[in-house]
């Protein structure tokens, strides 16, 4: 897929209302007698029909919690969700269980990380696909079976009729993920969230699954949210990227701009730690210092400051509540940093060939 093409789609769709609008979304986990944990903190983004955005960050940065909050799949107790999530204009935060169940699987669907544990081991693939069709499209058993076979065929599962009668453990990892994708696409959802859909798969299968997702989303007008820690996935698939750290978005940019000119030191660090084909053999990868656990509260300035090479005194503040703000940073870009990178951290083409696709 050429960039010009995807940009063309977006221009064409620019006038359309976004499918998903997330505004100031916050998720707080609370436990009795303990200080709560702010997993997601004032996250805002929107996705237009046919657009693919990436939510990128390390484990624990809040990207999965964001997606679960959008789907309304967070447990009811011990979780406070604030802000606003609108699907085609309909508010989802605070919506009732009945409303959400009507939307989930039909208008918004999700593909999960580990296809084996995400499928019920004691129920056939056929039942797990048809149950969506029966629930949302009111099909009877026979129609649903026909449609399910079609769906499996569409996602590239050979001999779909036989597969319908099989159990998840009888399928390969890639086939399981295809089956999960088939389930999520059963009702042609307006919004598809894919939470690290390739992490549990072999590298060769990863590429196939990403290709499949791109084909399925392209032209159907489905808005796709890719949640990933893998910049290779972003490079191959996303139009727009939101980088998250410690529950907040720290940088937003078009994919090309982000790879060509990362501004936040964290984004720069992520790019520098991607293995590249054009560096000499034996060159060590450049990791980001420390781990996500080293994050400090945003109220003290910048959560990334303890791990940041560009950090200066004004990144940390003595006065609580003066978080570094997310500000406009050129056309189509936003940045939460006082001392952004001036140039790309690595010379030459941004990353592996993926970025140019």
Partner 1 sequence: MLRFIVRRLLQLIPILLGLSVLLFAWLRALPGGPAQAALGERATPEDIARYNDAFGLDQPIIVQYLKFLGRALRLDFGTSSRTGRAVTTEFLERFPGTVELTVFAMIVAIGIGIPVGYLAARRHGSWIDSTSVIGSLLGVAIPVFFLAYMLRLVFAVDLGWLPGSGRQDVRMDATHVTNFYVLDGLLTREWDAAWDALVHLVLPGIALGTIPLAIIVRITRASVLDVVNEDYVRTANAKGLANATVRRRHIIRNALLPVSTTIGLQTGLLLSGAVLTETVFAFGGVGSALREAISNRDYSILQGFILILAVMYVLVNLLVDISYGLLDPRVRVR
Contact residues toward partner 1 (CB under 8 A) are 71, 73, 97, 100-106, 109-110, 112, 114, 117-123, 127, 131-132, 135-136, 167, 169, 180, 183-184
Smallest separation (angstroms) from partner 1 to the CB of 108: 9
Smallest separation (angstroms) from partner 1 to the CB of 105: 3
Burial category of 177 from C-beta neighbours within 10 Å (exposed 0-12, middle 13-18, buried 19 and up): buried
Paired residues of 194 in beta bridges:
111, 226
Smallest separation (angstroms) from partner 1 to the CB of 204: 24
Q: Are 129 and 179 in contact (CB under 8 A)?
A: yes
Q: Which is nearer to partner 1, 23 or 131 (CB)?
A: 131
Closest residue by Cα to residue 51 from 109, 10, 4, 101: 10
Residue 309's CB is within 10 A of a number of other CB atoms, namely 12
Please give the Cα distance from 357 to 340 (Å, whole number): 27
Q: Which is nearer to partner 1, 99 or 310 (CB)?
A: 99
Please give the Cα distance from 79 to 73 (Å, whole number): 11
Q: Which is nearer to partner 1, 112 or 304 (CB)?
A: 112
Q: Are 345 and 356 in contact (CB under 8 A)?
A: no
Smallest separation (angstroms) from partner 1 to the CB of 41: 23
Q: Which is nearer to partner 1, 168 or 262 (CB)?
A: 168
Closest residue by Cα to residue 216 from 151, 162, 171: 151
Smallest separation (angstroms) from partner 1 to the CB of 173: 14
Q: Which is nearer to partner 1, 75 or 348 (CB)?
A: 75
């Amino acid at each position: 897929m050429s960039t010009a093409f995807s940009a063309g789609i977006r221009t064409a769709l620019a006038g359309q209302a976004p499918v998903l609008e997330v505004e100031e979304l916050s998720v707080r986990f609370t436990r009795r007698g303990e200080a709560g944990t702010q997993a997601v903190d004032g996250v805002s983004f929107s996705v237009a029909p046919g657009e693919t955005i990436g939510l990128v960050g390390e484990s624990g940065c809040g990207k999965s919690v964001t997606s679960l909050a959008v789907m309304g799949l967070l447990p009811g107790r011990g979780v406070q969700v604030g802000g606003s999530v609108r699907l085609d204009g309909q508010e989802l935060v605070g919506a009732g269980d009945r409303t959400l169940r009507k939307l989930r699987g039909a208008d918004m669907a999700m593909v999960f990380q580990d296809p084996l544990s995400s499928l019920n081991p004691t129920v056939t693939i056929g039942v797990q696909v048809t149950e969506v069709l029966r629930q949302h499209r009111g099909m009877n058993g026979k129609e649903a079976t026909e449609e399910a076979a079609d769906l499996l065929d569409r996602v590239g599962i050979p001999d779909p009729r036989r597969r319908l009668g099989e159990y998840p453990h009888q399928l390969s990892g890639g086939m399981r993920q295809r089956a999960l994708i088939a389930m999520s696409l059963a009702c042609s959802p307006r919004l598809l969230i894919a939470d690290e859909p390739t992490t549990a798969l072999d590298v060769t299968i990863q590429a196939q699954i990403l290709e499949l997702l791109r084909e399925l989303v392209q032209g159907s007008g489905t808005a796709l949210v890719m949640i990933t820690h893998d910049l290779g996935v972003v490079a191959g698939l996303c139009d727009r990227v939101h980088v998250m750290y410690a529950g907040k978005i720290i940088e937003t940019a078009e994919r090309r701009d982000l790879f060509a000119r990362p501004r936040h030191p964290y984004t720069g660090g992520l790019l520098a730690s991607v293995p590249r084909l054009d560096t000499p053999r034996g060159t060590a990868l450049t990791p980001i210092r420390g781990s996500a656990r080293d994050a400090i509260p945003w109220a003290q300035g910048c959560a990334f400051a303890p791990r940041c090479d560009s950090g200066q005194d004004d990144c940390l503040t003595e006065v609580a509540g003066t978080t570094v703000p997310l500000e406009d940073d050129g056309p189509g870009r936003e940045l939460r940093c006082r001392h952004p990178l001036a140039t790309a951290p690595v010379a030459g083409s941004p990353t592996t060939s993926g970025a140019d696709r």
